[in-house]
Structure formats: structure tokens, C-alpha cells
């Protein structure tokens, strides 16, 4: 290995070249002045000799000779002055050029020293001819340790000299790619870093190549960040591609929707086109909509729960993000569950009517007996042959009234137990109370329990299926009546209170009470020996489907309080055109 030298090789070559090309004519001006001076002196001596020896001056008087001599001296002096002026002008030009060169050299040196890019020059033999301070800071070695060094260089990584030598051979051969080379190096303290190196040929003023200029930038941190971002992007894409939701992003263009991104689930359902996105938009194109809707795709023959929102794309455009979740199986299960729930609710109503069968039979027996008695009385008056129209009319009217009473009881029972589709509507709470209490009052009178109701004076309206809510209320009233059968307090209270935006209905009994009221709502749990334990569970399901809540608590005065809530029916507003907020890209 060659011994290191403090003298740079490449700059010396430049200085020698400058000396050879710029100083070739510098000596002409002082030589010319000296020649002129010698000429003046020689001419003066020659004229003095001519004055004594030449025949030409014999006939010329002394004054003429003196004038000629002065003219020659003046002419030569002018030439000397002109030469000195030219020399002064050249000297001033050169002084300015040297000052400019010094300033430019200082500026270039300052600029070079302030660079963060490491500059390094190799000569044609592969020796380091020049390094800038940034390169020294980058590897931790100073300039004196590097100038003149040949392979192996001190910043090469131990054990990888062969790889570094291949990189150096590629550099010296001039076959380095224009995009640069990624190299690894070791600092003086043993730490390693990654740099990107760019190579360009270094030429002298004559165009002859005298070395290679390399620039190196430390890319350790940018590379780490880039690798971290790449890994994060890969993880993110893995997650997106693995989702069961169909995710797509489109942009509005004059030619329609342009698909910018689609994950694997979207491509599986709709391919690599924007048609699926447009189909699931459901006519919401041109509006900002963040609500979640359910839509059926005819092309995929599937139901989707679609969430749509606007966001800013990487290029600043406003684009549409759509997340579509396949809910076909869920809707199938919901439909099956709904049908099953309807069957259970119908069974519950039939069970309630079965439990009340004896009470209902007794209730129907009274109007039927009255009808029979009134009819037989009317027949007796007719057979007697002396009927009184007033008495006959009164008997027939009472018979008709009892028949109407029986008909209402049968009609109410038929309406209560018949199978029908759930139908939510705006219904006054008093109507639900009337029907439910009318049923429960039959059993209550049998057990000698009075049902007392307390409602707000404005008779609030709820949004509910009246038959289902009547089923819930009847079940609670029937339980309360049965609980108070052995109680000294004989009044069952039904209280309605307004708790905007809800209405609360409370059934308050003074029965034997319960230790753990919440267990009543567990399936197949019952405090009755003949009970199935499904009634209250079904009631809670019905109330929750109406966006309400059903719960039980102990009555401080003894017994149990059952409460449930229902939403107020919103007042009807006049139809207004839907406001749409147009998309501004």
C-alpha cells in the first residue's frame, strides 16, 4: 500500500497546466521594454560616433545635429512610455483577475465545506486524490488519513473487502448506473451506514479525463424510514386485502366514476371495474352522505351494508370511499328469526288466552245468559197475548246490548290471537291501556282485584305495534293480579309518565315480591309451578325491538314494579325536498 501523502494529486496537475498555458507570453512586455531601452542607448552612442566620424555630419552645423539627436531620444522615450503603460494595464488586469480568482476559490471552498454531500476524487489508478470535509465527517477520518490512499480503504467493512473491490472496479471502469450505487461503509468508531454514490468523470481543461468524481449521501435514516413505510404499507395492504368487507375508492370524472382502489373482496364480487361501486351507491351520486344503508346488488345477488363517505385523495382530489359488508346470511337469519319470533309471540298470546279461558268463558256466559233471559221474557209476553211494546222494546234492546258486549269480547279475543305481520303505527297510549285492561279486568274481577290507571291528561301517542304492546301489558297485568291474590291490598296500579323522548308505563303490585327481579327475564325461569318461563323473556324482546327497555324492581311498599319505555311518535312534518350538498372536487 502506498504511503499517504498530504499533497493532492489532481489540483497540482491543474496548477501545472495553468502555468503552461497562461504564462507563455507574460515575458514579452518586459523584454520589449528592455530592448527599447537598449536601442535608445545604442542609438545615442551611435549618433555620438557619427558626429565625430561620419561625413554626413561634417557639413551639418552643430544645431541641426542637436535637434536630430533630441528627436531620436523623444521617439524612443515615447515608445518606452507606451510600453510601460501597456505593462501597467496588463498588471492591473492581472491583479483584478487574481482577486476574482481568489474570491471565487474562497466561495467555492466555503460552498464545498458547507455541503452535506461527501465529495471524493479518485485518480485513474484508483488512489484518493481529494475529499471534502463532508466526506470526512461522514466516515470519521480526516483528509490527511485519506489523500493518496489506495485499497483497502479504511472505511471499508472488514470481511467484505472483495465486495468493496468489485464496486471500485465497476467505478473505475465507467460502468456505474446513472441512478447511482448503494454502498455500505464503516465509520472510524466502528458504526456502519448506508450511502448512495453517484459517479462522473473528472476532466482537465483540455478535455482529457484525469480521474473520477464521486458524491456520497448518507441514506441510513431515509432508508430506515422508507423500509418502515414499506413494511407498514405491506401490513396495511395485507389487512385491507384480508378484510371480508368490499372496500373501493372512486373519483368523479367527466367519463364517469374512475376506480382508484379496490381490495380483493371487492374484486371478487364486482371485478376491477367501478360498476359495483356505482350500483351500491344507490342513487346517492353527487351528495355527501355518511349514513349506513342496506342495498341489494343485482350483479352479485347479495345484500350489502354500505357505508359511504368523502375524503381527500393523495393528489388532493375529493374521492368517494365505500365500505360494503356482505349481510346476505345475516338478513337470512334475521328473516328466519323474525318468523320464529312471530310464531313465539303468537304462541304466547294463545297461551295467555288458554290460561284465561275459564275467566273468558265466565265473562261470555254472563251476556249470553242475559240474552237468553231477555229473549225468553219477550217470548213469554208475546205468548200471554197482551204484550206491552215499551217492555218488549226494552227487553230486546237489553238483549241486543248484551249480544254486542259478547261480540266485542269475541272480536277482541280474535284480534289478539290472530296471526298478523308486525305493524308499527302511531297509536294513543290510552287505546293500548283500554284493550289490555279490558282483558286483564276479567281475571282481576274473578280474583277480586281492582285495576287503577293513571295517565297524562294529553294522552301521548307512541310509535308501536299495538297488538304486541297489548300482549306485553296484558302479561304484566296478569302477573300482577296473580301476585296480589293473597294480598290485603286489592288495587293494581298502572301509571303512565312522560320522560321525553320516551313514555314510561309502570305496573305496580303489592304482592309477595321477588328476591331477584332480573332473573324473571331469563329463558325458562319461572316462579310459577305451571309456568314455562318464556313470557317475560318474550316481552323484553318485544320492547327492545321497539327501541325501549323493560325491567323490574322491588316496590318499597311491598311487591314488584315492572316498567317499560316506548318512544314518542314524532309529529308529522310537511314534505320538503331533500337537500343535497353537491360535490365540489
- State the DSSP string of 414-473: HHHHS------EEEEHHHHHHHHHHHHHHHHHHTT-EEEEE--TT--EEEE-HHHHHHHH
Q: Which helix (H) or strand (E) holds 319?
A: strand 318-326
Distance, in Å, from the CA atom of 357 to the CA atom of 443, rounded to the nearest integer, reads: 10
Q: Kindly state the average pLDDT of the residues 310-319.
A: 86
Q: Kindly state the average pLDDT of the residues 188-208.
A: 88
Q: Identify whether the C-beta of residue 126 lies closer than 8 Å to the C-beta of residue 1.
A: no
DSSP 577: P
Distance, in Å, from the CA atom of 253 to the CA atom of 274, rounded to the nearest integer, reads: 12
| DSSP strand pairing (491-499 vs 450-454) | parallel
Please report the pLDDT score of residue 239 as a whole number: 85
Angle, CA of 218, 220 and 222, to the nearest 5°: 95
* Tens digits of residue pLDDT in 556-568: 888 888 899 998 8
pLDDT at 346 over 70: no
Please report the pLDDT score of residue 418 as a whole number: 56
* Tens digits of residue pLDDT in 258-302: 888 888 889 888 888 888 888 888 766 555 556 678 888 888 888
pLDDT-above-90 percentage for the chain: 2
Please report the pLDDT score of residue 5 as a whole number: 41
**What cell numbers appear for 352 in the block?**
295467555
pLDDT band at 579 (very low <50, low <70, confident <90, very high): very low
Radius of gyration of the chain measured on its C-alpha atoms? 56
Please report the pLDDT score of residue 9 as a whole number: 45
Average predicted confidence (pLDDT) for the chain: 76
Three-state SS across 509-531?
CCCCCCCCHHHHHCCCCCCCCCC
pLDDT at 39 over 60: yes
Q: Which helix (H) or strand (E) holds 209?
A: strand 209-218
Is the torsion defined by CA of 153, 157, 161, 166 positive or negative?
Answer: negative
Amino acid at each position: 500500500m502506498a504511503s499517504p501523502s498530504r499533497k493532492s494529486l489532481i489540483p497540482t496537475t491543474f496548477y501545472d497546466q495553468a502555468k503552461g498555458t497562461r504564462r507563455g507570453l507574460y515575458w514579452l512586455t518586459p523584454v520589449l521594454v528592455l530592448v527599447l531601452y537598449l536601442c535608445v542607448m545604442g542609438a545615442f552612442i551611435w549618433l555620438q560616433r557619427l558626429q565625430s566620424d561620419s561625413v554626413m555630419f561634417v557639413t551639418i552645423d552643430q544645431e541641426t545635429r542637436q535637434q536630430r539627436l533630441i528627436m531620436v531620444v523623444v521617439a524612443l522615450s515615447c515608445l518606452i512610455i507606451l510600453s510601460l503603460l501597456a505593462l501597467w494595464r496588463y498588471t492591473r488586469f492581472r491583479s483584478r483577475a487574481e482577486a476574482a480568482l481568489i474570491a471565487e476559490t474562497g466561495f467555492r471552498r466555503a460552498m464545498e465545506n458547507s455541503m452535506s454531500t461527501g465529495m471524493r476524487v479518485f485518480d485513474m489508478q484508483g488512489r484518493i486524490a481529494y475529499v471534502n470535509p463532508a466526506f470526512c465527517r461522514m466516515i470519521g477520518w480526516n483528509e490527511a488519513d485519506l489523500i493518496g490512499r489506495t485499497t483497502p480503504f479504511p472505511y471499508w467493512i472488514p470481511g467484505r473487502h472483495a465486495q468493496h473491490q468489485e464496486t471500485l472496479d465497476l467505478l473505475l471502469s465507467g460502468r456505474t448506473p446513472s441512478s447511482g450505487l448503494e454502498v455500505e461503509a464503516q465509520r472510524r468508531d466502528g458504526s456502519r451506514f448506508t450511502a448512495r454514490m453517484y459517479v462522473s468523470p473528472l476532466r482537465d481543461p483540455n478535455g482529457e479525463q484525469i480521474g473520477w468524481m464521486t458524491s456520497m449521501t448518507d441514506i441510513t435514516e431515509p432508508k430506515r424510514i422508507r423500509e418502515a413505510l414499506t413494511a407498514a404499507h405491506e401490513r396495511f395492504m395485507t389487512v385491507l386485502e384480508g378484510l371480508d368487507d368490499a372496500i373501493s375508492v372512486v373519483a368523479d370524472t367527466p367519463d364517469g366514476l374512475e376506480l382508484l382502489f379496490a381490495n380483493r373482496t371487492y374484486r371478487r364480487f364486482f371485478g376491477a371495474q367501478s360498476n359495483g361501486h356505482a350500483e351500491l351507491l344507490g342513487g346517492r351520486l353527487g351528495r355527501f352522505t355518511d349514513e349506513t344503508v342496506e342495498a341489494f346488488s343485482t350483479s352479485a345477488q347479495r345484500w350489502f351494508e354500505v357505508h359511504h363517505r368523502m375524503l381527500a385523495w393523495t393528489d388532493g382530489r375529493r374521492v368517494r370511499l365505500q365500505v360494503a359488508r356482505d349481510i346476505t346470511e345475516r338478513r337470512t337469519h334475521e328473516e328466519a328469526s323474525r318468523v320464529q319470533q312471530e310464531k313465539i309471540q303468537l304462541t304466547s298470546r294463545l297461551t295467555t288466552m288458554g290460561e284465561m279461558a275459564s275467566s273468558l268463558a265466565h265473562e261470555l256466559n254472563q251476556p249470553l245468559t242475559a240474552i237468553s233471559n231477555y229473549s225468553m221474557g219477550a217470548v213469554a209476553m208475546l205468548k200471554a197475548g197482551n204484550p206491552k211494546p215499551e217492555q218488549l222494546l226494552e227487553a230486546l234492546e237489553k238483549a241486543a246490548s248484551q249480544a254486542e258486549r259478547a261480540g266485542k269480547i269475541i272480536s277482541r279475543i280474535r284480534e289478539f290471537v290472530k296471526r298478523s305481520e308486525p305493524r308499527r303505527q302511531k297509536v294513543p297510549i290510552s287505546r293500548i291501556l283500554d284493550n289490555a285492561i279490558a282483558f286483564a279486568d276479567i281475571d282481576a274481577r274473578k280474583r277480586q282485584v281492582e285495576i287503577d290507571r293513571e295517565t297524562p291528561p294529553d294522552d301521548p301517542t307512541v310509535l308501536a305495534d299495538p297488538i304486541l304492546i297489548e300482549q306485553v301489558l296484558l302479561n304484566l297485568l296478569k302477573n300482577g293480579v296473580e301476585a296480589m291474590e293473597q294480598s290485603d291490598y286489592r288495587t293494581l296500579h298502572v301509571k303512565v309518565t312522560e320522560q321525553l323522548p320516551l313514555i314510561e308505563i309502570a305496573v305496580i303490585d303489592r304482592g309477595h315480591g321477588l328476591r331477584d327481579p332480573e332473573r324473571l327475564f331469563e329463558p325458562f325461569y319461572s316462579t310459577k309451578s305451571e309456568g314455562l318461563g318464556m313470557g317475560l323473556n318474550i316481552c323484553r324482546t318485544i320492547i327492545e325491538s321497539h327501541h325501549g327497555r323493560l325491567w323490574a324492581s322491588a316496590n318499597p311498599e311491598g311487591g314488584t314494579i315492572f316498567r317499560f319505555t316506548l318512544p314518542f311518535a314524532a309529529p308529522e312534518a310537511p314534505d320538503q325536498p331533500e337537500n343535497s350538498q353537491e360535490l365540489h372536487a
